[in-house]
Structure 1
Amino acid sequence: MVKSDLVLGGMAAMGAVMFTNPIDVVKTRMQLQGELAARGTYVKPYRHLPQAMLQIIRNDGLLALEKGLLPALHYQFILNSIRLSVYSNALEYGYLQDKDGNIAFYRGMFFGALGGGTGTFLASPFYMIKSQQHAQAVEAIAVGFQHKHTSMYDAMQKIYRAHGFRGFWRGSTTSLIRAFTASSVQIGTFPKAKAWLQDNGWIKHPVLLSFCSGLISGSMVSIANAPFDVVTTRMYNQPVDANGRGLVYRGLLDCFIKILRKEGLHGMYKGFWPIYFRSAPHITLTFVFFDKLMLLRNRYLYKEAA
């Protein structure tokens, strides 16, 4: 069961990212534009989600919306195969339920953070490469530092040659905090939202129930996680010296302070709407796909047992 949960969780997230990667590309670029510049003092090639997508297509072609897809698929498989497996098994063994059998909010948050943190740390190299490829653009619409990777494998070779294995986990601490926040809120709110909708009799269809529960959960994740998402993108995309140290930000706290001083609170929520329009459907699709794959697996096991 555990092994199949690992695979199904990863497959569900890979299916979701196929639809949401273009939004993630826009999110990354909006988070990088006007980096450490006061509001209103820089050119904004990306104003909002629809305009940004058209801007990318006009200048860089339709396929540019799928930049970083391969590392994104690797990242999502590793992260969610671990995160959803931890959640599923904790639920199965009763670790999430209180004495009355209800899903305990703080237990859900704990196991969500545990699974999300573990998965994020292991998948950190792919998130870094994904972010760097998302930022790559033609000069007319380029924002942030341009790493100019030709592929995921090219990026891995460059990082290893310059900084060894340690280079793959640069910025992983920042990513861990982002993951703890997102996963604890996501896993903590999804079952509560699902139980709330189900207990009140508002939604009965299982797929629609998963969809609406994921939508509520995704909204909460977007609000809580946006500042950590911005900081993670900046930390991963910044240039580094020969020793692998960041040339713009020394660490998580330094990044937060510099953004707040130079860009204000607005800077911490750059790209919020792409974060929302990416997070909500991604979480929704992941749980919908996971529920359907679990259902298919259980049906297969039932037939085998019969």
Structure 2
Amino acid sequence: MTKSDFVLGGTAAMGAVVFTNPIDVVKTRMQLQGELAARGTYVKPYRHLPQAMLQIVLNDGLLALEKGLAPALCYQFVLNSVRLSVYSNALELGYLQNADGSISFYRGMFFGALGGCTGTYFASPFYMIKAQQHAQAVQSIAVGFQHKHTSMMDALLHIYRTNGISGFWRAALPSLNRTLVASSVQIGTFPKAKSLLKDKGWITHPVLLSFCAGLSSGTLVAVANSPFDVLTTRMYNQPVDEKGRGLMYKGLVDCFTKIWRTEGIHGMYKGFWPIYFRSAPHTTLTFVFFEKLLHLRDRYVFSQRRN
């Protein structure tokens, strides 16, 4: 395990988010539309993924699909440089293996959660800005509270001037819960799915094997993580007073209670399909890019040693 793995893990995730950020934009807006309103009582500018993307392009331009890309890239680099490195380190040191050499599901979940939560905490400011910029839209299709950030740097300065350093970590708790579930499920299931497909002889090509394992892992992530994702988006995007206190939700429990009472279980799964269609390819691309980068690094190191 080398320090370069931190960089490679973050770079792999950044490569993935370039392709999945437009889906994330739609996901955020679906989670915010009809906020604290009973089902059927509000206008839905975003009905499903293809329609939502077309709606955004027609009303706000093609580049609007990449809103929040800068903080999304920073968030993914910080989160995954920690998360994937912790996982790889644990794997190389033998912490994930059972006595027979197989990968332990529960140990994989533990180290996935450990790395994910640590990375998420440090990356929390970028996730908050990402969510707020994803929600920004022209008036005709705007949903949720509209923050007026003109860029990531403008957002960082505004948050610091308004609420100080602590403002960057408000709503970090729901983000940690979200990552705890997503990381433990994602990294816990990926090696198991990969081992199963390989051991059964169903898939042997390395890239296809990683793709299918990532697809299976991403599917489970979407099912388990959707409610936590909704809570995180709502908490991060809500307006706050001069002391950084939320004007809509007092905390995680209050947010959950209000959504459940007004929107029901449907509210907890708003944006589920964008979450699914983002999670599966993002998981797949991250692991594929990570393994390819590791392979290229190893080839470079080998060639340097020969020379």
Same fold flag (TM > 0.5): yes
Pairwise TM-score range, normalised by the shorter structure: over 0.9
Q: Distance in 2 between matches of 1:304 and 1:97?
A: 32
Give the unaligned 5+ runs of structure 2.
Answer: none
AA paired with 2:64?
A
Paired residues, number: 306
Q: Distance in 2 between matches of 1:142 and 1:118?
A: 33
Partner in structure 1 of residue 291 of structure 2: 291
Are residue 139 (structure 1) and residue 132 (structure 2) matched?
Answer: no
Partner in structure 2 of residue 273 of structure 1: 273
Matched ranges for 1:9-20 at <5 A:
9-20=9-20
TM-score, reference length from structure 2: 0.99
Partner in structure 1 of residue 106 of structure 2: 106
Partner in structure 2 of residue 199 of structure 1: 199
Q: Following TM superposition, where does structure 1 have runs of at least 4 consecutive aligned residues deviating by more than 3 angstroms?
A: none
Q: Secondary structure at the match of 1:2?
A: coil
Partner in structure 2 of residue 30 of structure 1: 30
Q: Distance in 1 between matches of 2:273 and 2:149?
A: 27
Q: Secondary structure at the match of 2:3?
A: helix
Q: Distance in 2 between matches of 1:225 and 1:64?
A: 26
Q: Distance in 1 between matches of 2:173 and 2:2?
A: 27
Q: Distance in 2 between matches of 1:211 and 1:148?
A: 38
AA paired with 1:56?
I
Give the unaligned 5+ runs of structure 1.
Answer: none
Q: Distance in 1 between matches of 2:218 and 2:14?
A: 17
Q: Distance in 2 between matches of 1:67 and 1:297?
A: 32
Shift of 1:126: 0.1
| Identity level (%) | 77
Are residue 248 (structure 1) and residue 248 (structure 2) matched?
Answer: yes
Partner in structure 1 of residue 304 of structure 2: 304
Shift of 1:304: 2.0
Deviations, residues 80-136 of structure 1 (Å, cap 9, x unaligned): 000000011100000000111110000000000000000000000000000000000
Note the aligned Cα RMSD (angstroms): 0.5
Partner in structure 1 of residue 43 of structure 2: 43
AA paired with 1:35?
E
Partner in structure 2 of residue 115 of structure 1: 115
Q: Distance in 2 between matches of 1:107 and 1:94?
A: 11
TM-score, reference length from structure 1: 0.99
Partner in structure 2 of residue 177 of structure 1: 177
